[in-house]
């Protein structure tokens, strides 16, 4: 078994990566910005069942601070770089996300290279693959990149530039360090704590009745547990070195289809979920006054399909049915008192 560093250990994806690595028998070191959150992380991990806490250590490290990273990666075989800067409010300028995301990735990669780490698995996103393109009939693959010349939102721009910087570093300065990237679509699934991950807010707003009608678009979704599993496969499989892997549970899912799954699987507990889809013209018009619809302007009327054929064929990865994931997401939100 290996020594694995997971950055962003208290995040939605990060905490599941920690748990999955522990369950696989690895020794895990997790980074958090505030070391005082170690008890919280251990409590979160316990929510998924008993685990060997002696194989987990928690250290402080911040993507925006050069201190602590050399110690964090010391003696590690692998790094799962899941952490990414986020803002509670929309950034006043795109660089508020772009600069810390790009510099944070490079900071981790330099430390990993200097420490002799075998491979870094970078958590990127579909946002670095399929945004800013005209409508298309074929699914996006790992060969695609988001069009940075388009008017794309700051988050997708930051993920694209950060991943581009990572691949450039690996090719020009990485030495023997291997790099792989996981690009999940919208990540759903059960919580390990009372969080409010942005990727779950769609389901939350449906349960709370805060979405009178569904925005007219479709995109891919995937279970956080399957995303963590793909990270572990990309970490150890020789075939993953130098590769990107999209993670999606099949074809794109219209938002209205998600609402129907909630009605079918949750019954009265999802009674507030919408039952109709906004016309595209109306959604575009409402975008003038609704910031959330304005951020979706490139997606309205589209079905953003992606394929995980590469991960399935090279790594033997398989996603669970998205209907189960949507239901598990809703059950978890309700269990944590969210979405009632």
Show which residues are catalytic. 159
Question: Which residues make Cβ contacts (< 8 Å) with residue 202, sequence separation at least 6?
Answer: 186, 211, 255, 258
Taking the model in full, what pTM does it have? 0.96
d(CA 152, CA 323): 29
What topology does CATH give the domain 3-194+220-250+305-321?
Answer: Rossmann fold (3.40.50)
What is the three-class DSSP state of 299?
A: coil
Question: Which residues make Cβ contacts (< 8 Å) with residue 47, sequence separation at least 6?
Answer: 192, 193
Mean pLDDT is lowest, of 5-19, 175-189, 281-295, for 281-295
Contact 276, 255 (CB under 8 A): no
pLDDT of residue 195: 82
**Angle at Cα 228 formed by Cα 222 and Cα 229, nearest 5°?**
95
Contact 152, 298 (CB under 8 A): yes
pLDDT confidence tier of residue 86, bands split at 50, 70 and 90: low
What is the three-class DSSP state of 64?
A: coil
- HSE-up (13 A, CA, CB side) for residue 265: 17
pLDDT of residue 94: 55
Task: Name the average pLDDT for the chain.
Answer: 94
What is the three-class DSSP state of 323?
A: helix
pLDDT of residue 98: 85
* Per-residue pLDDT tens digits for 289-340: 888 888 788 788 899 999 999 999 999 999 999 999 999 999 999 999 887 7
Print burial letters for 120-129: b (CB count within 10 Å at least 16), e (below 16): bbbbbbbbbb
């Amino acid at each position: 078994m290996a020594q694995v560093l997971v950055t962003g250990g208290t995040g939605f994806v990060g905490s599941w990566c920690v748990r999955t690595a522990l369950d696989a028998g690895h020794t895990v070191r997790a980074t958090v910005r505030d070391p005082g959150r170690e008890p919280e992380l251990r409590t979160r991990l316990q929510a998924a069942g008993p685990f060997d806490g002696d194989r987990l250590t928690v250290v402080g490290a911040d993507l925006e601070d050069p201190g602590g990273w050399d110690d964090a990666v010391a003696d590690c075989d692998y790094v799962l770089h899941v952490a990414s800067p986020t803002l509670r409010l929309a950034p006043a300028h795109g660089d508020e996300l772009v600069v810390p995301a790009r510099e944070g990735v490079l900071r981790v990669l330099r430390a990993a290279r200097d420490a002799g780490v075998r491979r870094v698995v970078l958590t990127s996103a579909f946002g670095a693959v399929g945004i800013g393109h005209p409508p298309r009939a074929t699914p996006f693959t790992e060969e695609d990149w988001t069009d940075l010349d388009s008017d794309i939102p700051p988050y997708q721009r930051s993920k694209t530039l950060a991943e581009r910087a990572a691949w450039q570093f690996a090719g020009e300065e990485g030495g023997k360090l291997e790099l792989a990237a996981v690009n999940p679509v919208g990540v759903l699934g059960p919580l390990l704590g009372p969080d409010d991950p942005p990727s779950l807010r769609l389901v939350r707003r449906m349960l709370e009745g805060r979405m009178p009608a569904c925005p007219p678009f479709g995109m891919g979704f995937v279970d956080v547990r399957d995303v963590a599993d793909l990270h572990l496969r990309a970490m150890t499989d020789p075939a993953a070195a130098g590769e990107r892997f999209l993670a999606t549970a099949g074809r794109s899912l219209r938002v209205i289809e998600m609402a129907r799954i909630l009605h079918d699987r949750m019954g009265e507990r999802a009674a507030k979920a919408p039952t109709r889809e906004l016309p595209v013209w109306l959604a575009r018009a409402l975008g003038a006054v609704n910031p959330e619809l304005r951020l979706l302007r490139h997606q309205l009327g589209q079905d953003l399909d992606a394929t995980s054929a590469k991960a399935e064929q090279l790594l033997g990865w398989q996603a669970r049915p998205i209907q189960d994931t949507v239901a598990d997401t809703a059950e978890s939100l309700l269990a944590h008192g969210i979405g009632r």
